[in-house]
Chain A
Amino acid sequence: MPDKLAEAAELIQSVLERDGRPCFTCSFQAEDVVLLDMLRRVRPDIPVLFLETGYHFAETYAYRDRLAREWGLNLVNVMPALSREAHEAANGKLYQSEPDRCCKLRKVEPLLAALNDYEIWFTGLRREQSPTRAGLQPVETQTLPNGKELVKVSPLAFWTWKEVWSYLKVNEIPHLPLYDQGYLSIGCQPCTQLPLDADNPRSGRWAGQKLECGIHTFNVVR
C-alpha cells in the first residue's frame, strides 16, 4: 500500500510538470475522492469536473457540496444542453427507453465538449472495477472525436477496493453515505441499483444491461 500511494503521488507530480492544463472528472465515488484528496494537496485549484446529468442521488449532491465547501474545490458542473425538465419534455424518460442515448446526451457529449479546454485528464479508474477496465494503463493517450489529443491519467489504476477504503479511513475522509446501503458503484439514480454480481461492482449499473456509459470508451467506436 505505501508503495502504491507513493507511485500514484509520483505519477501525479510528474504529469503536472508537463505542458498543458489539467482537469479531474469526479463522480465523488470512493476512488474519486481518494484521487481528489491527492490532487488537491498538490494543485488545490485543479478544475473538478462533475457531470451534472440532473439525475444524481440527493445524497450525491449533498456530499459533493459538502466536500466542495470544506475543501474549497474549484468545482465545475458540466451541464448538458437541456435541463432535466426540457430533456424529458423533448425525449420522455430516455433512461428507460434508450439508456445509451441518455448517457450520450447527458454525460458523453457534455464531457467531450468540456475536455476540449484541457490537455491532461485525471480519472479515478481502476483495473479492478470491471472486466472492461482490466487492461487499463495508468497513462494513456486519448483522442477526442475532433482529433484533439489528451493525456488520460489514472493514478489509481492498480489500486484495490480495500486500498481505496483504507486511504479514506487513514485520512479520516467521510465517504458518500450511499455505500452504507450496499451500493458499490454509483451513478445516476434511475440507473443505479444494488450490484447483481458481488464480484463485479459495476453490475448494479444500468440494471446489468451494460457496464459503461461511454465516457471512458468513446475511442472504441470507429
Chain B
Amino acid sequence: MSTQSERSSVERVKEQSRHLRGAILEELELPTPNFSKETVQILKFHGVYQQTDRDARKAGVTGYGSMVRVGIPGGVLSPEQYLLLDRLADEVGDGGLRITTRQDAQFHRTRKADLRYLISTLNSNLLTTLAACGDVVRNTTCCPAPHSDPVRAELQRRALALSRRLKPKTRAYYEIWMDGEKAAAAETEEEPLYGDCYLPRKFKIGFAPPGDNCIDVYSNDVGLVPVCRGETIQAYTLLAGGGLGMSPGAKATHPRLADPICTVPPELLEDAVEACVTIHRDYGNRSNRKFARLKYVLEDWGVERFRKELEARLGTELAPPAKLEWNKGADHLGWQRQDDTCLYLGLHVPSGRIRGPLRDCLREIVSEFQPGVRFTCHQNVLLTGIPADRRAEIDNLLRRYGASMPSELPPVIQEALACPALPTCGLAITEAERAMPDILADIERTLREVGLDGLPVTVRVTGCPNGCARPYTAEIGIVGQSVDMYALYLGGSHLSLRIGALFTDRVRREEIGAALRSAFVLFRERRNPGERFGDFCHRVGVAALRGAAVEAPA
C-alpha cells in the first residue's frame, strides 16, 4: 500500500533532533519526574531508557525511573571502574547492577534528577552510555576469556578500536551531560557516518575466536571470526544479517542467523565493517521498524548481491568465506588458567543481577585482590589476572558469602538466560527473570525424575515473543504468550547455530516441567551416544515429540 513508503515517526523524531539534542536539556530542567514521548526516543541514543515500574503503578504510584546502560566493549573493566559502578548503583540506582547479553552494565530506577550526575561521573572514569541504545552501532561484543593467546588479545583490541570508530560524533552528549561548551551550531556539525537520521534500527557487532561461540556470533548484524594460522590472524570471516528479534504481529518477521559473506584481510577489517553499517544506513527499511534490521536487506538481496555491494564500497574483491567450525558455546566459568602465573575465575551471576551477598562478595574480592573484571555475553563475570597462589583466599571469601562455585550448580542453571520482563519492561506479558529460579528448579526436578539429572541443556525464558534473551536458538525456549502462559520451543542448539520450532502453546508456568517430560523421556530412550537434547529434538522433529506427549501416560 502507498502508505508503506512513508517514513516512520521515529525517523522524523531523529531527523528533527539536531544530532540527538532534541529537548533533553530543556526537559532536564523541568521538575516533572518523566520525559516527553519524543524526548524518550532521543534519550535512548544517550543510553537512557525511561521505564515505569508496573508493580508500583498498580499500587497507584507513577513509578518512573530510568534504565541507564553503559556500553563496555568486550566487557572489559579495570577494578577501579568496577568499584565505581558498584558505588553508583547505591548512590543513584536500585542497589544492583545488571550485566546484559551484550556485555553492558545497567543501572535501574535512576531518577531523572540523578541522570546528569551518573553519566558525567561515568565519563570522567572513561566509561560511556553514548550509543548503548538507539539506532546506532551498539556495544561491540567479544569473547572475554583472558587467555594469553595473542588471537584473543587482538580481538579485544579490535573490538575496542572498532567501537571507538563507530560512535556518533555529535557533541550533544557532552553538552547535555557534561555541561560542555555548546559547540558550533548543530547545523554545521558533521555526523559523517550516520547522517542526520542515524541508522534505520540498531546494529550489533561481535567478535568470536575460532571454535568458541560464547558470544553467539550468529545473532549479530555483523559477526567476525578470525582465520588463523597458528597464533597469527591471517584474515577475518565476515558474517552479516543476524538478529533474533521477532514480532508475532508481523507474520513475516522472524529470527535469523547471520550468513557467512566473505573473507576480509586484517587491514581492511574496520573499513569492511563500516561499509556494512553504511549499507544498512542506505538500504534499511525506514518506513516499518519491524523490518528495519540489516537482516531484511540481506534477505531481499541474498548473500551474493550483499557481497558485491560490499566489494563496490571497499573498491576491492573479497574472497569467499572460510568454513566455520565450533566446538563450544558455553561460558568460561570456574577456575581457569590464564597464563604461566595467573588464573582467572568465572562466576555465575543469576540473570546477570549483581546484588545482595554476591555483590558484597565481588566488591570485597575486587577491592582486596584488584583483578581485572570482565562481563560475558552469558551475563556472568570473570575475575582475571589472579596470582595462582591466592586462589585459596578467594575460595574462602566465596564460601563466607555463600556464593556458589559454578561447578556446584546444575548445568541447567549455569547456562540459563532470562530477559527482565515484569515489572520494568513495558512489553512484557509474563514474568521471566523473576520466575526463572522456579522454572529452572521445575525443569531440574523433571530431569531428575526421568533419570537425566545433570543433563546440560540451555534454557532461555522471555516475557513476550520479541525474543530479547534469544529463546529461539536455545535448546529449550520458553516464551511468554498470555498471562502466566508460555509457548515452548525445542530444537535450537547449545551452540546457538539453529532456530528451534514451536513444540506447544498455552503452558502454565508451573506446568512447564510437566509439559517437557515426554520429550525428555523420548530423548532418554532414543538419543544417540553423546547427543545433546537440542540436536535430538531437531533430528526427530517436533511432530514426533508431540506424538510422544500424546502417548505418555497421564
Q: Which residue of A lies closest to B250 (CB)?
A: A219
The reply to whether B482 and A7 contact each other, CB–CB distance below 8 Å, is yes
- How far apart sit A10 and B288, CA to CA, in the bound complex (Å)? 31
Q: Is A142 an interface residue (CB 8 A)?
A: yes
Q: Which residue of B lies closest to A17 (CB)?
A: B58
The reply to whether B289 and A222 contact each other, CB–CB distance below 8 Å, is no
B319 to chain A, nearest CB (A): 32
- How far apart sit A171 and B483, CA to CA, in the bound complex (Å)? 24
Q: Is A221 an interface residue (CB 8 A)?
A: yes
Q: Is A90 an interface residue (CB 8 A)?
A: no
> With A7-B483, A139-B482 as given contacts, are A158 and B506 in contact (CB-CB < 8 Å)?
yes
Q: Is B185 an interface residue (CB 8 A)?
A: no
The reply to whether A148 and B250 contact each other, CB–CB distance below 8 Å, is no
Residues from chain B with Cβ under 8 Å of A157 in the complex:
482
The reply to whether B427 and A222 contact each other, CB–CB distance below 8 Å, is no
- How far apart sit A155 and B7, CA to CA, in the bound complex (Å)? 32
Interface size class of B (residues with CB under 8 A): 35 or more
Q: Is A162 an interface residue (CB 8 A)?
A: no
- How far apart sit A149 and B296, CA to CA, in the bound complex (Å)? 19
Residues from chain A with Cβ under 8 Å of B296 in the complex:
222
A180 to chain B, nearest CB (A): 32
- Which of A108, A143, A148 contacts B1, CB < 8 Å? A108
The reply to whether B291 and A222 contact each other, CB–CB distance below 8 Å, is yes
**Which residues of B from 249 to 288 have beta carbons under 8 Å from A?**
249-252, 285, 287-288
Residues from chain B with Cβ under 8 Å of A220 in the complex:
250-252
The reply to whether B249 and A146 contact each other, CB–CB distance below 8 Å, is no
Q: Which residue of A lies closest to B422 (CB)?
A: A14
The reply to whether B1 and A147 contact each other, CB–CB distance below 8 Å, is no
Interface segment among B8-16, B303-311, B380-388: the answer is: B8-16
The reply to whether A218 and B429 contact each other, CB–CB distance below 8 Å, is no
A-B residue pair count with CB separations less than 8 angstroms:
106
- How far apart sit A149 and B174, CA to CA, in the bound complex (Å)? 31
The reply to whether A145 and B249 contact each other, CB–CB distance below 8 Å, is no
The reply to whether A141 and B505 contact each other, CB–CB distance below 8 Å, is no
Interface string of B73-110 (1 = CB under 8 A from A): 00000000000000000000000000000000000000
Q: Is A189 an interface residue (CB 8 A)?
A: no
Q: Is B3 an interface residue (CB 8 A)?
A: yes
The reply to whether B247 and A141 contact each other, CB–CB distance below 8 Å, is yes
The reply to whether B465 and A137 contact each other, CB–CB distance below 8 Å, is yes
Q: Which residue of A lies closest to B290 (CB)?
A: A143
Residues from chain A with Cβ under 8 Å of B8 in the complex:
143, 146-147
- How far apart sit A10 and B426, CA to CA, in the bound complex (Å)? 18
Interface string of B294-315 (1 = CB under 8 A from A): 0010000000000000000000
Most buried by B among A14, A137, A142, A157: A137
The reply to whether A145 and B6 contact each other, CB–CB distance below 8 Å, is yes
B289 to chain A, nearest CB (A): 6
- Which of A14, A139, A145, A155 contacts B3, CB < 8 Å? A145
Q: Is B32 an interface residue (CB 8 A)?
A: no
Q: Is B150 an interface residue (CB 8 A)?
A: no
The reply to whether B251 and A219 contact each other, CB–CB distance below 8 Å, is yes
Q: Is A135 an interface residue (CB 8 A)?
A: yes
- How far apart sit A155 and B506, CA to CA, in the bound complex (Å)? 12
Residues from chain A with Cβ under 8 Å of B54 in the complex:
17-18
**Which residues of B from 424 to 438 have beta carbons under 8 Å from A?**
426-427, 429
Residues of B within 8 A of A (CB): 1, 3-4, 6-11, 52, 54, 57-58, 247-252, 285, 287-291, 296, 426-427, 429, 464-466, 481-485, 487, 505-506
Residues of A within 8 A of B (CB): 7, 10-11, 13-14, 17-19, 104, 108-109, 112, 135, 137-143, 145-149, 151-152, 155, 157-158, 217-222
A-B contacts, 8 of them at CB < 8 A, read A17-B57, A135-B251, A139-B464, A145-B1, A146-B6, A147-B288, A158-B505, A220-B252
A19-B57, A137-B465, A158-B506 given; name 12 further pairs at CB < 8 Å: A10-B484, A11-B482, A108-B1, A143-B247, A143-B249, A143-B250, A145-B3, A145-B6, A145-B287, A147-B288, A219-B251, A221-B1
